[in-house]
Amino acid sequence: MLTRYFALHVQNLLGAVGRLTRQPFATLLTVLVIAIALALPGGLRVLVSNAEALSGSWESAADFSVYLETTVTEERARALAAKIESREDVAAVVLITSSQALEEFRQHSGFGAALDALGENPLPHTLVVRPADATGEVEALAAALREEEDVALVQLDTEWVARLRGILSLAGRLVDIASALLGLAVVVVIGNTIRLEIQNRRDEIEVTKLVGGSDGFIRRPFLYLGLCYGLCGGIGAALLITGTLALLGGPVRALAALYGSDYALVGLGGVEAAALLGGGAFLGWAGAGLATARHLRAIEPK
Amino acid sequence: MIRFEGVFKRYPNGREALSGVSFALEQGELAFLTGPSGAGKSTLLKLIALIERPTRGTVLVRNLNTARVPRRKIPAFRQRLGIVFQDHKLLHDRTVFDNVALPLVIAGFSHRDIGRRVRAALDQVGLLGREQHAPITLSTGEQQRVGIARAIVARPEVVIADEPTGNLDPELSLEVMQLFVRFNEVGVTVLIATHDHELIGQVPHHRRLILADGQIMADRAAAAALA
């Protein structure tokens, strides 16, 4: 009984595949529409997760810079660095002496001649402090450092990272909304395709009802047809995203190289690809389910 | 097997197709339902197949009150009924085999049983060897026989036919009628609606229900038909 049940389902699945291949051009167009509708949210999601990966690699941005008074000597700066480093909530401290800072500034800013004209070094010693817990409360640590008598200014570099993360979570939310709307579009597209298919097979449905076909029996081929459309659309979407990423990969690497980074795009992972295929198949099944629930009942033998 | 008790059928447009029809068909009987077109023959058959429901009165099929069959149980009800249509109602995108096999596929028969039964049914209507043909390549008479094979393939106790010879010439019509007679001889209850009096004359010894203006005007038992 169970094997017969499965045999019937396999038969329905093969029947649906057969139906799709019988009209390759019409099938291709429908699948392409579904693929694009699925690829848009899928692709955006990949982009957002790429941006998240990128911002994640900027853990060092949680560091803060502690500028000392210009009057502080290098020995006192070293002592303070050692003192701060011994704190429990500090992971590491790097001392950038005023002369190191000047050298760096001279190299990168292009103001070398102007600096020479100043005669003396206007830059203070700087401590770059890395908190033990980059994501946690760093404000208390910053406040404690401000209390030190040699400290002129404590500058938190985390604000723009927080802003970027805010933007990314907003983008993520927008992608969620776009996913929901485009998912609905897929349901509608497949539902409409199935509705046309039902109309084309009106006679067949009527005859099947006359010889005792149950609603479930008549529905099943259409559900499998919807499933196949959705699955093919999911495969198409995965190919579109992978292709787009392949096209973007080269320029992105070149751009990253300009920033001195070896960053490369994160592609469509196995889980995401499976979600795309499974989601497509589910939406197809749902669209077909809605269409059959609405239109099959209306066809009764006369 | 089939029993009508004071059955009225009025369509939504106000036309009364049946006005108090009562008769009973016993198990193993073959009866012709005749009368001019518009007399209500098709309506009567539709009530048996639960394509329509009576406005008033009771229709019993296989001792089952059809009023007690809810919509979702109609498929199971029809599976135990063989129906032959004037226009065959074959599926033209499928082979003869697949057409005849449809009721068995619906009923969930195994692949092997389906093959065996379909060939047996096609053998009975004289179309063995034509399984893989498309219905459209067959003559009208052959298409009707495919329709008949489909009606009997699941071995129903009751077979109803609506003008099964409507599109056939006299010779083919007689062949088709003789098929029904043969089924009846093995115990199937058969009710055939037809307006072809000449044809009925060629297969006498059977009961005739004559319908006119939605009422049974005459019920000539088999014996009377003999006389």
* Span A16-38, pLDDT tens digits: 888 888 888 989 999 999 999 99
Q: Which of B51, B76, B77 sits opposite A301 (nearest CB)?
A: B51
List Cα–Cα distances, A92 to A83, A85, A124, B28, in angstroms.
11, 6, 20, 100
- Residue B85 included in any domain: no
Cβ atoms of residues A230 and A26 within 8 Å: no
Indicate the pLDDT class of residue A59, thresholds 50, 70 and 90: low
Same domain, B191 and B202: yes
Nearest residue on chain B to A5, alpha-carbon basis = B108
Nearest residue on chain A to B105, alpha-carbon basis = A8
Indicate the pLDDT class of residue B222, thresholds 50, 70 and 90: low
Same domain, B163 and B76: yes
Same domain, B71 and B162: yes
Structural domain that includes position B179: 2-80+156-226
Q: How far apart are CA A104 and CA A85, in angstroms?
A: 24
The domain boundary, picked from B104, B139, B155, lies at: B155
Structure tokens at A298: 């209306």
The domain boundary, picked from B124, B155, B186, lies at: B155
Same domain, B10 and B71: yes
Same domain, B143 and B43: no
- Residue A88 has what DSSP assignment? T
Nearest residue on chain B to A200, alpha-carbon basis = B93
Contact B83 A203 (CB under 8 A): no
Contact B111 A211 (CB under 8 A): no
Contact B106 A211 (CB under 8 A): yes
Same domain, B25 and B114: no
- pLDDT at position A137: 65
Q: Which of A203, A210, A300 sits opposite B83 (nearest CB)?
A: A210
Average pLDDT on B173-191 reads 90
Q: How far apart are CA B28 and CA B31, in angstroms?
A: 10
Nearest residue on chain B to A11, alpha-carbon basis = B105
Q: How far apart are CA A55 and CA B132, in angstroms?
A: 66
- Residue B50 included in any domain: yes
Average pLDDT on B15-44 reads 90
Contact A212 B81 (CB under 8 A): yes
- pLDDT at position A255: 85
Span(s) in chain A for CATH 3.30.70.3040:
64-156
Contact A204 B91 (CB under 8 A): yes
Contact A210 B79 (CB under 8 A): no
Contacts of A87 (CB under 8 A, 6+ apart): A141, A144
- Residue B133 included in any domain: yes
- pLDDT at position B122: 94
Contact A212 B49 (CB under 8 A): no
The domain boundary, picked from B125, B155, B185, lies at: B155
Reply yes or no on whether the pLDDT at A138 is more than 90.
Answer: no
A204 interaction partners in chain B (CB closer than 8 Å): 91, 93
3-state secondary structure of B216: strand
Domain A64-156 in CATH 3.40.190.10? The answer is no
- pLDDT at position A135: 59
B72 interaction partners in chain A (CB closer than 8 Å): 214-215
Same domain, B120 and B145: yes
Q: Return the bridge partners of B65, or none.
A: B60
Same domain, B111 and B221: no
Reply yes or no on whether the pLDDT at B146 is more than 50.
Answer: yes
A300 interaction partners in chain B (CB closer than 8 Å): 51
At B58-79, the pLDDT tens digits run 999 988 999 999 999 999 999 9
At A209-257, the pLDDT tens digits run 999 999 989 999 999 999 999 999 999 999 999 999 889 888 888 888 8
Nearest residue on chain B to A212, alpha-carbon basis = B75
List Cα–Cα distances, A200 to A203, A224, B99, in angstroms.
8, 17, 18
Q: Which of A4, A203, A211 sits opposite B102 (nearest CB)?
A: A211
Distance from CA of A195 to the nearest CA of B (A): 19
Distance from CA of A232 to the nearest CA of B (A): 25
**Other beta carbons within 10 Å of A234:** 29
Average pLDDT on A263-270 reads 81
Same domain, B161 and B213: yes
ipTM of the complex: 0.89
Report how many domains make up chain B.
Answer: 2
- pLDDT at position A208: 93
- pLDDT at position B206: 86
- pLDDT at position A35: 95
A8 interaction partners in chain B (CB closer than 8 Å): 108
Widest pairwise Cα distance in chain A:
104
Q: How far apart are CA B101 and CA B77, in angstroms?
A: 18
B80 interaction partners in chain A (CB closer than 8 Å): 212
Regarding predicted confidence, which is higher, A159 or B77?
Answer: B77
Contact A217 B106 (CB under 8 A): yes
Same domain, B107 and B7: no
Q: Does B100 touch chain A (CB under 8 A)?
A: no
Reply yes or no on whether the pLDDT at A179 is more than 50.
Answer: yes
Cβ atoms of residues A161 and A55 within 8 Å: yes
Structure tokens at B62: 């296989």
Average pLDDT on A134-152 reads 76
Half-sphere exposure of B91 (CA within 13 A, CB side): 24
Q: Compute chain B's Rg from CA coordinates.
A: 17
- Residue B61 included in any domain: yes
- Residue B130 included in any domain: yes
Q: Does B95 touch chain A (CB under 8 A)?
A: no
Same domain, B116 and B180: no
Contact A217 B75 (CB under 8 A): yes
Domain CATH code at residue B201: 3.40.50.300
Structure tokens at A137: 């409360």
Q: Does B197 touch chain A (CB under 8 A)?
A: no
- Residue B143 included in any domain: yes
Q: Select from A190, A218, A220 the least CA-distant residue to A205.
A: A218
Structure tokens at A258: 């300009």
Indicate the pLDDT class of residue A60, thresholds 50, 70 and 90: low
Average pLDDT on B197-217 reads 85
- Residue B216 included in any domain: yes
Same domain, B76 and B164: yes
- Residue B149 included in any domain: yes
Cβ atoms of residues B159 and B179 within 8 Å: no
Reply yes or no on whether the pLDDT at B225 is more than 50.
Answer: no
